[in-house]
């Protein structure tokens, strides 16, 4: 049920990360991992199933909105999840250079 804004002590801007801010440039993530990252958690944080369902509900539209800044990979196994990462063109040059230096 909708509530009037006056019912809340405060409201905040609805700011979300950009893929280049959220992802490590050389890593790929599953939807549940993206949901955790969007909430400031580690990708492998232990969350209960109900919380994970909410995180996935947030992550799916976020991925769709940012699809032009992302890449997708096929699952590693036939029944495994897909993986998503930041596209090279979406990473600022200084971050891309640092990621290349680290992997060398």
Kindly report, residue by residue over 37-70, the tens digit of the pLDDT.
Answer: 999 999 999 999 999 999 999 999 999 999 999 9
Q: Is residue 14 part of a domain?
A: no
Structural domain harbouring 45 = 26-89
Task: Report yes or no on 47 lying in a domain.
Answer: yes
Q: How confident is the model at residue 94 (pLDDT cuts 50, 70, 90)?
A: low
What percentage of the chain reaches a pLDDT higher than 90? 80
Question: Considering the domain boundaries, does residue 39 fall inside one?
Answer: yes
In a domain, 5, yes or no: no
More confident of the two residues 99 and 83: 83
Q: Domains in the chain: how many in total?
A: 1
Give domain status of residue 9, yes or no.
no
Query: How far is 59 from 68, CA to CA, in rounded Å?
Result: 15
Residue 95 pLDDT more than 60?
no
Look at residue 30 and tell me if it is in a domain.
yes
Answer yes or no: is 12 within a domain: no
The Cα-based distances of 27 to 10, 30, 41, 52, 96 in angstroms read: 36, 10, 16, 21, 12
Confidence of residue 93 (pLDDT cuts 50, 70, 90): confident
């Amino acid at each position: 049920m909708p509530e009037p804004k006056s019912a809340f002590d405060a409201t905040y801007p609805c700011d979300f990360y950009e893929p280049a801010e959220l992802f490590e440039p050389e890593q790929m993530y599953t939807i549940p991992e993206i949901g955790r990252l969007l909430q400031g958690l580690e990708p492998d944080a232990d969350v209960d199933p109900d919380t994970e369902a909410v995180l996935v509900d947030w992550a799916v539209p976020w991925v769709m909105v940012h699809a032009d800044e992302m890449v997708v990979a096929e699952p590693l196994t036939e029944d495994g999840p897909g993986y998503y990462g930041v596209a090279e063109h979406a990473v600022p040059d200084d971050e891309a250079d640092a990621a290349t230096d680290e992997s060398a």
